[in-house]
Structure 1
């Protein structure tokens, strides 16, 4: 079994413990999903996947869990996380198509990440506009986060 098949199996086991919105499929991402990730990111005003596609693709290839939510044949959301598998998981990116928000897709992606590594805490940076979503999902605000960008 290759790495992709192992990841898909892990996701299948985790999803057994998650409530999934009707008509939505959650699965491990594949490189064929990158164009959809770029499209969703661009629609949100996130520039890195379009302006720095090679770096963004490498980030997706180097991260796990990396999941997409699909409705019919279209990717309608994604999450890219990084974890030590025991204590901490950092949610690097979470995005749901603006027309699909409110359907539980973002919550499902986060919960699936947590079920993959149930002993981890989930840490993230949130834009002001998404703070109420994360609070509704049970996250609390920490005021000591920092960031320095080099590019």
Structure 2
């Protein structure tokens, strides 16, 4: 899918998402990568610093790959992989610690849902984030979590 098609698809999805005040969600671009690295590092995710070339490639090859922006600053992101119909796997989701509790993570997940409304969302979570996902309807499955969307 080319960049223009992705942008149009995100715009359509965002019509259904309630965005926190002052927050915009859009497809990521390479100019966002240093902010993505900083947010990842703040979470303790080592790929950001130890494997930056691989991390950049992962972002280039992933979709949906979205950033949440406030005043032109990236304050959150989601990177996923999908077959477009059954499963959307969230590989990474992070929100700047100073911006948590404002609905940004929820809006990023909702955007993914509205991009692929028939796909369930699968992900792995840290213990610290488990309550966030469970509050949004995800359930624990073994070592992972899943939320199925039913229309």
Q: Which runs of 5+ in 2 are unaligned?
A: 145-151
Does the residue aligned with 2:142 lie in a helix, a strand or coil?
Answer: coil
CA RMSD of aligned residues (A): 1.0
- The aligned residue for residue 31 of structure 2 is 32
Does the residue aligned with 1:79 lie in a helix, a strand or coil?
Answer: strand
**TM-score for both structures, normalised by structure 1:** 0.93
Distance in 1 (CA, whole Å) between partners of 2:143 and 2:48 is 27
Matches within 5 A, 1:1-151: 3-143=2-142, 145=144
Distance in 2 (CA, whole Å) between partners of 1:13 and 1:50 is 34
Q: Which has the higher strand share?
A: 2
Q: How many residues align?
A: 144
Distance in 1 (CA, whole Å) between partners of 2:43 and 2:116 is 28
Q: Deviations over 1:92-140 (max 9, x none)?
A: 0000000000000000000100100100000000000000000011100
Q: CA deviation at 1:49?
A: 1.6
Distance in 1 (CA, whole Å) between partners of 2:49 and 2:32 is 14
Distance in 1 (CA, whole Å) between partners of 2:121 and 2:72 is 29
Q: 1:42 to 1:144 in 2, by over 3 A?
A: closer
Q: CA deviation at 1:44?
A: 1.4
Does the residue aligned with 2:141 lie in a helix, a strand or coil?
Answer: coil
Q: CA deviation at 1:144?
A: 5.2
Point out 4+ residue stretches in structure 1 off by more than 6 angstroms.
none
